[in-house]
Amino acid sequence: MVALTFASSGDRSNDFQQCLLRCDNTECTENSLPLMLKMTRWTCADNCKYLCMHEITAQDVASGTAIQQYYGKWPFHRFVAQEPASVAFSLLNFYTHVKGAQRLRMELDDSHPMKIYYMGWSFVSINTWIWSCLFHTRDTAFTEKMDYFSAALTILVALYFTVVRLFHLYAPSHPRNTLVMHGYQPENRVRLKSWSAACVLIYVGHISYLNHLERFDYSYNVKFNLAIGLAHNALWLCYSLPSSISFLRRFLGRSKRYRPHFVYKPALLVSLLVAAMALELLDFPPWALIFDAHSLWHLSTAPLAYMWYQFLIEDASDDCWKEQRLS
């Protein structure tokens, strides 16, 4: 609420500005803030903005006037966190990825060539949801950037391992006893290094650009994430398409026509994800000043993450991934 750099109708109103002046004169005394607010780095000025926002919002509700936004955000009940529902649902996503990482570690053999990529994505996702919790608990310029940068990294890593998996760029985990299918090409090592370097450069360029701006470019950030996400979704849709129209070969050592029973799942998950993203386009005052469209988006991603882990494990456990020696 405080860290955002653009104004809204609520914080521009005369009633709000007059309330801030009164609050500053009456509430901003030494040691006036509760310990919990001090621990989350609230200042008296921040607290006055919160108190005045809810004072005017209560008046609007009582008079039947439309609820206004303040500093680019809807008013929420604080409950320690600025956006309690988003924090709760971020914790749910955090838990989902922790359990998903545990499943990957236990159910995939260490020699499986995709395990390291899936585990890496899990750890990056766990980090992302930690920062999401912190950002929605206390919105500052730092927590906002860490939330956005972590989310971008998660999306990019998802695209990274998708390309590695679907174009068979994975390298043998062990030189002699490996889970590499017949048809692996040694030159893929060069392709893998090139793809890895490209992703690193893309991410470094992305955060460097945003860090060097005087004002955070929200529009560019959305477009960047959308482009990466669409590429990721398009590739997994190709995985699910009939072999007659898909350019992908799902498994080395098998014909393109090989179609395991779980092949439809990526298309289903991509469709559900796109449908859930509609919540990000909606913008309505939070129900009970707690649940808004963004928090519901976070709620929807938790079961989708669980289903993605289920699919990744099914795909990695297919009979095509059998131990073979490179000849």
Report DSSP letters for 31-61, one per residue.
T-S-HHHHHTT--HHHHHHHHHHHHHHHHHH
185 and 274 assigned to the same domain: yes
Total domains present in the chain: 2
With respect to residue 56, please indicate whether it lies within any of the assigned structural domains: yes
Residue % of the chain over a pLDDT of 70: 91
pLDDT value at 4 more than 50: no
- Does residue 71 belong to any structural domain of this protein? no
**Does 72 fall in a domain?**
no
What is the residue whose two structure tokens read 């500053």?
24
In a domain, 46, yes or no: yes
Tokens encoding 1: 């609420």
Does residue 211 lie within any of the structural domains?
yes
Q: 299 CB contacts (<8 Å, ≥6 apart)? A: 85, 89, 92
pLDDT digits (tens, 9 = 90+) for 94-126: 999 999 999 999 999 998 999 999 999 999 999
- Identify the weakest region by mean pLDDT among 64-73, 152-161, 200-209: 64-73
Q: Kindly state whether residue 164 falls inside one of the protein's structural domains.
A: yes
Does 297 share its domain with 179?
A: yes
Residue 30: pLDDT band (50, 70, 90) is low
CATH number (domain holding residue 272): 1.20.1070
Do residues 11 and 71 lie in contact, with contact meaning Cβ atoms separated by under 8 Å? Answer: yes
- Within this chain, do residues 144 and 291 fall inside the same structural domain, yes or no? yes
Residue 51 shares a structural domain with residue 92: no
Residues 195 and 291 in one domain: yes
Q: What is the pLDDT of residues 37-73, one digit of tens each?
A: 888 888 899 899 999 999 999 999 999 889 999 988 8
CB 76 within 8 A of CB 286: yes
List the domain range (segments joined by +) for residue 164. 84-316
Q: Are residues 175 and 308 both part of a single domain?
A: yes
List all residues 6 or more positions away from 102 whose beta carbon is below 8 Å from its beta carbon: none
pLDDT at 28 over 80: yes
**Structural contact between residues 304 and 273, judged by C-beta atoms closer than 8 angstroms:** yes
In a domain, 27, yes or no: yes
The pLDDT tens digits for 296-306 are 999 999 999 99
Vertex 231, ends 230 and 237: CA angle to 5°?
85
Helix axes 293-316, 115-137, angle to 10 degrees: 170
What's the chain's average pLDDT? 89
Question: Does residue 184 surpass a pLDDT of 60?
Answer: no
Three-class DSSP category at 19: helix
